[in-house]
Chain A
Amino acid sequence: MLEVAIIGVGWAGSKSCTPDLSFQEMVYEAAVKAYADANVNPQVDVDAFISADEDYWAGYSIFEEYVPDQLGAVLKPTWHITGDGLHALINAYMMIRSNLFEVVVVESHSKASDILSYAGIIQHATDPVYVKPLGGHPFYIAGLEMRRYLYETGVSEEQCAQVVVKNKRNAIFNPNAAYPAELTVEDVLNSPYVFSPLKALEVSSTAEGAIVMVLASGDVARRLTDVPIWVRGVGWAIDTPNLDGRDWGRAVYVEVAADMAYKMAGITNPRRQIHVAEVDDKFSYKELQHVEALRLCTRGEAGELLEAGSFYVNGELPVNPSGGCLGVGNLLEACGLSRALEVVLQLRGQAQGRQVEDAKVGVAQTWRGIPTTSGAVVVLSTEG
């Protein structure tokens, strides 16, 4: 079987805002670091490039035309997908597995402070006939999900608040995080309701940054690096877009994506076989819901495990040692690569003050946010 490894990573940010840099300059910074890390020259050694973004976030129609130059990809096979960066990584994995390409680069970024109508774009993503005409800030959909999730599982508002405390604290030890903080559960519970039961501090703030990764076939990976991180399994799924047909309490899209990735990776007991998890936490409750969907615990168990300390960096199953979206920041379509970046650093033993001991297998999961049910899962390992 053809093996695929991540052989280089580079990043710029994450910062709450980067007023001096254009998105191209941020991507260039991340790309230069990634190519140095992978020991490749983009114009000579890289066979193809993929970027992931959403035109509305970028603020350009047909954004793919603006992809090549800052990556060193002019006149090279390049494409752009509307999706999360983890979808781009999965595409690169498939291109290399197809044996048509040996080295493929993926990129995603966020220049969120350029977006002057953030809520409007999300509102525009809701159904234009049945939902959008009602108006309102579309994050009420997160409030609806959270209420039902708590109702069905017995997870408490306090436990959701503790996700924020944990992740913002983890971010203190991550120099690439935009929103580190030392908070108490009371601080979170006392922040005002925005879309009850969701409180202000439970909503991740947008941030800016760029992430570039270099993937290669097994032979090339072994030649270029001593620390290849192997892509062992990939999965993705989208539930129905219709709010009347989806499951309000469960992240079924992640259950399906995880099952696909685990089967490919030969993971039969995720809780035992996975040592570190980076999961989407754009809203506090999503971390717990996603941990359950990833089969890292049983349904309804995530809140108690969090309280027992299991998800802390020194716990039984560290979740979001990077700080997650709550701590690093919501990097829009770069969220998935932000999760994968942390897993790579953890498996390489380069996570410094937040290093998880003996992490050999990790999982990165993403979700494209309200109002989507679009998720992706990647299993990474130090062993091919």
Chain B
Amino acid sequence: MFEKLTRVTDVKHEIGDMAVVYRYTAGIAGERFFLEIKENARFIGTQCVKCNVTYVPPRIYCERCFENIENAWVDVGKRGVVHTYSVAYIDENGKRLDKPIVWAFIRIANGGLIHMIDEVDPKDVKIGMVVEPAFKDKVERIGSITDIKYFKPAS
């Protein structure tokens, strides 16, 4: 039908998009987790005594045994351990980043958080490294995962 097409835009097509906006409810557990970050710059989790598991971020149910654990809050401190990490060199548009981003899964209690790591040369990041959060100033915190600017090597 078509010969030697080298650009997909050479054929008949329609461009379509959809503007959809959602409001995602953090829930009972998320509300308290983010309130602690906002007000006290610290992390809390919930604990299932039966499974001996502490969830960070917290849940009101244990996904292992399905028990309700909404009243089992525990302070899990601020520090975490780099469980795994990756240096991203491209952004979500596929463009090369001027400054690569170090992503990590930071183990906290039996759970943990996905976040960025900074204030360290990417080459020096290691699995097992102890890190702590760099929070935004209290006035800037809104109760969001972005209240944490990044994690950095623990002092």
Q: Which of A's residues lie within 8 Å of B, judged by CB?
A: 17, 19-20, 59, 61, 113, 116, 119-120, 123, 128-131, 133-148, 151, 192-198, 240, 242-245, 248
Q: Choose from A116, A193, A248 the contact partner of B89 (Cβ within 8 Å).
A: A193
Stretch at the interface among B67-75, B103-111, B133-141: B103-111
Contact of A136 with B101 in the complex, beta carbons under 8 Å: yes
Q: What mask results when residues 111 to 131 of chain B are scored 1 for a CB within 8 Å of chain A, else 0?
A: 111111000000000010000
B98 at the interface (CB under 8 A from A): no
- CB of B121, distance to nearest CB on chain A (Å): 13
Q: What mask results when residues 18 to 30 of chain B are scored 1 for a CB within 8 Å of chain A, else 0?
A: 1000101010001
Given contacts A19-B5, A128-B22, A130-B57, contact A137 B105 (CB under 8 A): no
Q: Count A/B pairs, Cβ under 8 Å.
A: 119
CB neighbours (8 Å) of B30 from chain A are 129-130
Given contacts A129-B30, A140-B88, A147-B84, contact A240 B63 (CB under 8 A): yes
B154 at the interface (CB under 8 A from A): no
B152 at the interface (CB under 8 A from A): no
Q: Choose from A116, A129, A145, A198 the contact partner of B24 (Cβ within 8 Å).
A: A129
Question: 7 more A-B contacts (CB under 8 A) besides A133-B144, A243-B105, A244-B55?
Answer: A133-B145, A136-B88, A140-B101, A144-B85, A195-B86, A243-B112, A244-B111
Contact of A143 with B103 in the complex, beta carbons under 8 Å: yes
Q: What band does the interface of chain B fall in when counting residues whose beta carbon is under 8 Å from A?
A: 35 or more
- CB of A145, distance to nearest CB on chain B (Å): 7
Q: What mask results when residues 76 to 103 of chain B are scored 1 for a CB within 8 Å of chain A, else 0?
A: 0000000111111111111000000101
CB neighbours (8 Å) of A139 from chain B are 88
- CB of A251, distance to nearest CB on chain B (Å): 15
- Measured between alpha carbons, how far is A138 from B30 in the docked complex, in Å? 22
Residue of B whose beta carbon sits closest to that of A146: B86
CB neighbours (8 Å) of A142 from chain B are 86
- CB of B126, distance to nearest CB on chain A (Å): 10
* Residue among B15, B83, B89, B111 with max Cβ neighbours from chain A (10 Å): B89
CB neighbours (8 Å) of B94 from chain A are 119, 137
Contact of A134 with B2 in the complex, beta carbons under 8 Å: no
- Measured between alpha carbons, how far is A194 from B94 in the docked complex, in Å? 9
- CB of A157, distance to nearest CB on chain B (Å): 13
Contact of A144 with B103 in the complex, beta carbons under 8 Å: yes
- Measured between alpha carbons, how far is A334 from B32 in the docked complex, in Å? 41
CB neighbours (8 Å) of B113 from chain A are 130, 244
Residue of A whose beta carbon sits closest to that of B128: A151
Given contacts A129-B24, A244-B55, contact A119 B93 (CB under 8 A): yes
Residues of B36-80 contacting chain A, CB below 8 A: 55-57, 63
Residue of A whose beta carbon sits closest to that of B57: A130
- Measured between alpha carbons, how far is A128 from B23 in the docked complex, in Å? 9
**What would 21 A/B residue contacts be, using CB atoms closer than 8 Å?**
A17-B8, A19-B8, A19-B11, A20-B5, A20-B11, A61-B18, A136-B91, A137-B91, A142-B86, A143-B86, A144-B103, A144-B114, A147-B86, A151-B127, A195-B90, A195-B103, A196-B87, A198-B86, A243-B114, A244-B112, A248-B83
- Measured between alpha carbons, how far is A243 from B1 in the docked complex, in Å? 47
- CB of A344, distance to nearest CB on chain B (Å): 30
Contact of A244 with B56 in the complex, beta carbons under 8 Å: yes
- Measured between alpha carbons, how far is A123 from B93 in the docked complex, in Å? 11
CB neighbours (8 Å) of A138 from chain B are 92
Contact of B89 with A192 in the complex, beta carbons under 8 Å: yes
Given contacts A134-B116, A243-B114, A248-B84, contact A144 B105 (CB under 8 A): yes
Contact of A137 with B86 in the complex, beta carbons under 8 Å: no
Contact of B2 with A20 in the complex, beta carbons under 8 Å: yes
